[in-house]
Amino acid sequence: MKVALIQTRTPASHAAAVAHTLPLVEDAIARGARFVLTPEGTNILQKDRETLLPQLTRLEDDPVVAALRGTARARGVWIDIGSALVLREDGAAANRQVVIDPEGGISATYDKLHMFDVDLPNGETARESATYAPGDRAVTADVDGVRFGLSICYDLRFPALYRAMALAGAEVMTIPAAFTRPTGEAHWEVLMRARAIETGSYVLAAAQGGFHEDRRGTWGRSLVVGPWGEVVAGLDHDEPGVLLADLDLAAPRKARAAIPALANARPFTGP
């Protein structure tokens, strides 16, 4: 399976996000991608909640989601919006991953479980829970007969989520992100490789990169990791771009047969 990861520097409005993202997606499809993954916050990035919230719509009304559904249908490919910032049915905001099938239908959605509420050593703070309502369930999606596990950014630091999805049959984990620059430099690649090794899965990590209109900085360096922990493909910068990789769909089964950690776990008590 040929996959593409789209690295963006998403603007602070939906119209600008459409103009920014669609040419990258079309380029990926023209180069043979069957599955295209975009980063967290594909439809809009704005860290000021008072500016952001009035712009959010329900998923079915979001113009970026609509444009990418049209592209998937016109080109006959899978497009996974790593996340769209949208309104839930109850009016709360959600950070939601959206898997679009080749007919343009929405085959799965996942609301980010773990909220990025941190105080970093460099003085940077984040309180994602002040803006978004967290999800409450893990989600997998079948893509051309291959099971994908869905997650978003900070979820990366909670390995039990990936183990649960692997035990449910997921062999490819999507981890779209808008990683901060300090944490990206320190932890991005090693954590992605760890999640791949622990579960014997591919990891697809499409990233935001660079310095954005809302003055945030994101790490970039989108990455595909194989189930043995090897870096299959990666970008070495934070500029917008396309990363292509061919997945060997037999590789997860081979890795899990060699190191059967999913099967060998034992219950325990304590401490």
- Residue 130 DSSP code: G
60, 103, 112, 189: the catalytic one is: 112
Q: Is 254 annotated in the active site?
A: no
Q: Please name the residues in contact with 44: beta carbons below 8 A apart, sequence gap of 6 or more.
A: 10, 11, 12, 13, 14, 17, 52, 55, 56, 64, 85
2, 50, 128, 153: the catalytic one is: 153
Distance between CA 157 and CA 142 in Å, rounded? Answer: 24
Distance between CA 51 and CA 49 in Å, rounded? Answer: 5
Closest C-alpha to 135, from 172, 159, 100, 161: 161
Q: Is 230 annotated in the active site?
A: no
Assigned token pair, 69: 């559904």
CB 199 within 8 Å of CB 173? yes
2, 26, 40, 239: the catalytic one is: 40
| Location of structure tokens 């978004």 | 132
Distance between CA 95 and CA 127 in Å, rounded? Answer: 13
Q: Is 124 annotated in the active site?
A: no
Distance between CA 159 and CA 176 in Å, rounded? Answer: 16
Kindly calculate the radius of gyration of the chain based on its CA atoms and give it in whole angstroms.
Answer: 17
Distance between CA 186 and CA 177 in Å, rounded? Answer: 15
Catalytic residues: 40, 112, 153
